[in-house]
Structure 1
Amino acid sequence: MYPINEVFQTIQGEGVFTGAPALFIRLQGCPVGCPWCDTQHTWEHKPEDEVSITAVVEKQAASSTWANVTPQQILKLFEQRGYTARHVVITGGEPAMYDLRPLGQVLEQAGYQLQIETSGTFEIRTTNKTWVTVSPKLDMPGGYLVRPDCMKRANEIKYPVAMQKHIDQFDKLLRSCPPSPEAIIALQPISQRPRATALAMRVCIERNWRLSVQLHKYLNIE
């Protein structure tokens, strides 16, 4: 069973799959505590907030309500609502708090491609085909450390930056927890701040990394 906060179809706005039609599954629960998080309503996993999957799908505004569902129920929901996207993004909250292998197996057998977006602070339990995006969260209030095994598993490392100290911290992480040589590294300016964007662009050009600009926020879509 998975605690689902949101399910919706949109355009992926970040990272390698920017521009791809995508189905987002947002899971409830995250103890990492990023100060700039724009989904803080997913942090607490309270029993009194449990509702039906219908109520979750029909949400008109962000809230902490969630529904407990099986992989088969999620697949059935996709079919009932006539979603056309075949790329599924599992996010949160912190999706790696949960064993995602059963969900991945069901959706992959039905022809979907999976991606997860994780802070890298919990063991990643996914299918081998799942595209893993690690967005390392360093020195956050929750006190969780980025795991070397998560960095090694990452297909893509998407790091949020606002100032030079974030680049310095990221360099230290890359030295202590080296990713796979095939991993794609991207910098993502925090909150579209001009100085952060300029910094990220400069470093990406210097190091031949990628820039992730959170396209969905510029387009004002979910």
Structure 2
Amino acid sequence: MTVKYKINELFETIQGEGAFTGQPSIFIRLQGCPVACSWCDTKHTWAINLEDEVTPNAMLTKEAESQTWSALTVKDILAMITAEGYQAKHIVITGGEPAMVDLLPLCQALETHGFSCQLETSGTFELQVSAKCWVTVSPKVNMKGGYKILNSAMLRANEIKHPVATEQHIDDLKALLAEHNIVNTQVYLQPISQKERATALAIKSCIENNWRLSVQVHKYLGIE
């Protein structure tokens, strides 16, 4: 059976977060997420409604955020990237929560065609990706959806990118790292907003703990 992925967006831009900040990237944004983060900036990707399915062209050319999506095979995705003339060789698979589905066929096909893959996930689902795929776990603690962060996801992470606005978020992260015995994985703190207080807390905590700062460069630049 051919796997079809529910794609909300597919576009080329600059990665603005984490270890690949500044990297030209093609974003594949999947529809669907039950985690329900209160500060999520892509809430339009949460629900999967059959009436929201649109054609691939309508998905690709929409001019505003919406919960519409298109079902694409791996072959469809590769053809769309080629047809659009995208030059980036780094693919970011995001959402929504992309780890809800088996991403191994997608990763393997992309890597066969010369792309590198990066997964952005909350760490609440078992990861089905290639061995080469760079995994960014952005752990969501005590969210409304009630999902637990999996030890397997934390141990697979190449980087941990933690949203932060309050001291409680710092305490949550430290407890999470201790619980899963995470020692050498690079940790990035990402202010939940561009507000001065959240950014100052992130900077202070990075210095105290030898973590790194991720400031969502794309938002400061005004790009997607």
TM-score grouping bracket, smaller chain normalisation: over 0.9
Residue by residue, what CA displacement relative to the aligned partner does 1:177-212 show, whole Å, maximum 9, x if unpaired?
223x44211100011121111111011111111000
Q: Distance in 2 between matches of 1:142 and 1:178?
A: 25
Q: Which of 75, 92, 101 is 1:89 aligned to?
A: 92
Unpaired runs of 5+ residues, structure 2, are none
Q: What does residue 5 of structure 1 align with?
A: 8
Count residues with an aligned counterpart.
Answer: 221
Q: Give 4+ residue runs of structure 1 displaced > 4 Å after superposition.
A: none
Residue by residue, what CA displacement relative to the aligned partner does 1:121-145 show, whole Å, maximum 9, x if unpaired?
0001100000000000001000001
Unpaired runs of 5+ residues, structure 1, are none
- C-alpha RMSD of the superposition: 0.7
> What does 1:162-177 correspond to in 2, within 5 Å?
162-177=165-180
Determine if the alignment matches structure 1 residue 17 to structure 2 residue 13. Answer: no
Q: What does residue 197 of structure 1 align with?
A: 199
Q: Distance in 2 between matches of 1:199 and 1:182?
A: 22
TM-score by length of 2: 0.97
Is the CA contact 1:148–1:178 (under 8 Å) kept in the aligned structure 2? no
Q: Distance in 2 between matches of 1:52 and 1:143?
A: 33
Shift of 1:62: 0.4
1:195 aligned counterpart, secondary structure: helix
1:204 aligned counterpart, secondary structure: helix
Q: Which of 195, 212, 215 is 1:213 aligned to?
A: 215
Q: What does residue 158 of structure 1 align with?
A: 161
Q: What fraction of aligned residue pairs are identical, expressed as a percent? A: 58
Is the CA contact 1:89–1:116 (under 8 Å) kept in the aligned structure 2? yes
1:159 aligned counterpart, secondary structure: strand
TM-score by length of 1: 0.98
Residue by residue, what CA displacement relative to the aligned partner does 1:39-61 show, whole Å, maximum 9, x if unpaired?
10100011110011111000100
